[in-house]
Amino acid sequence: AAHSAWALPLVAALQLAIYFWYASRRGPLRPYSPVGGPRTWELELFAPFPGCEEVIRERREVWRFWTYQWVHEGWEHVGSNVLLELAFGLPLEIAHGGLRALAVLQGGVVAGGLACAVFDVDRGVVGASGGCYALLGAHVAVLATHWRRHRRGLLNRVVKVVFLAVFAAADVFATADRGAATIGAAPTSGTSYSAHVGGLLGGFLLAVAVLGRRPAPDARHGAKRRAAAVVVLAVALAAAVAWLSTTKDARDVPWLYPDANDWDHESCCMKLARCGGNARPGLACRDRTDVLVDGIFVAADCGELRE
């Protein structure tokens, strides 16, 4: 039986209301600015330069892993996320119910935030794209586990596979195009695709665990799949929490900065730390190769000082 859709429209309405309420008080509304939402809701592992303190580990502001979905940067950002949530989420909600669809969406938000915290340490993240990709992952899971049920109809399995493939190809192209356009930019700019991947995988596993039930002849295999999904989710969550709790210095994480002299991909905070500077009031970034220390620029190689 079809369920009434209320959960995803409610989330979308709240995201729009929060964005326009805050953004309208910060200046003219543009496609990519201003940021709409409280600063304390944004997900960031490090506070902005020059403070650079570890927000999650030192301040214990763990709510950011969930609240970053309510903050967006520009009306195009919030509009695209809301459209994706409704396009991917409403069919799931109608088929499986509001609470289950909401669980996938919100679980994907957290999964995307944790993935970003592990793989994009010095990148700030706002927006609900982790949840959007969780809904996409849920469609993949439903299609994979109910393959025979989608043989006929307007939205049959061939149509869905083609749509998912086109969407994935478009996202990969956008990733490459945006990456080429932001070469040399600070790592805090652009899009965190770790949040996308984390949300996608989290949504896939959550969908296997909570969406629907298999027919009686396949009930045993369905129960095994759900149990396996729950175990993988629990292990991934435990690993992410352990990493965040025990990693003392993000500069030592090998997959972030394998080359200590890779200045083009380090934030100003990282550069200053490698040059032996101390984060304190009065420090500011000039560009991607220099750090300003009380009016004196430290060259990118930590060598001579220059004005």
| Secondary structure element (H or E) that encloses residue 153, with its range | none
Interatomic CA distance for residues 122 and 270, integer angstroms: 9
Catalytic: 72?
no
Chain centroid to CA 224: 29
Which is catalytic among the residues 129, 192, 194, 267? 129
**Token pair 């049959």 in the structure block, residue:** 156
Catalytic: 221?
no
* Pairing mode, strands 291-293 and 284-285: antiparallel
- Strands (E) across 22-131 are located at 35-36, 72-73
* Cβ(93)–Cβ(9) below 8 Å: no
Q: Write the DSSP symbol of residue 63.
A: T
The partner residues of 46 in beta bridges, in order of sequence, read: 54
Interatomic CA distance for residues 102 and 41, integer angstroms: 20
Which is catalytic among the residues 72, 77, 196, 267? 196
- Residues marked as catalytic: 129, 196
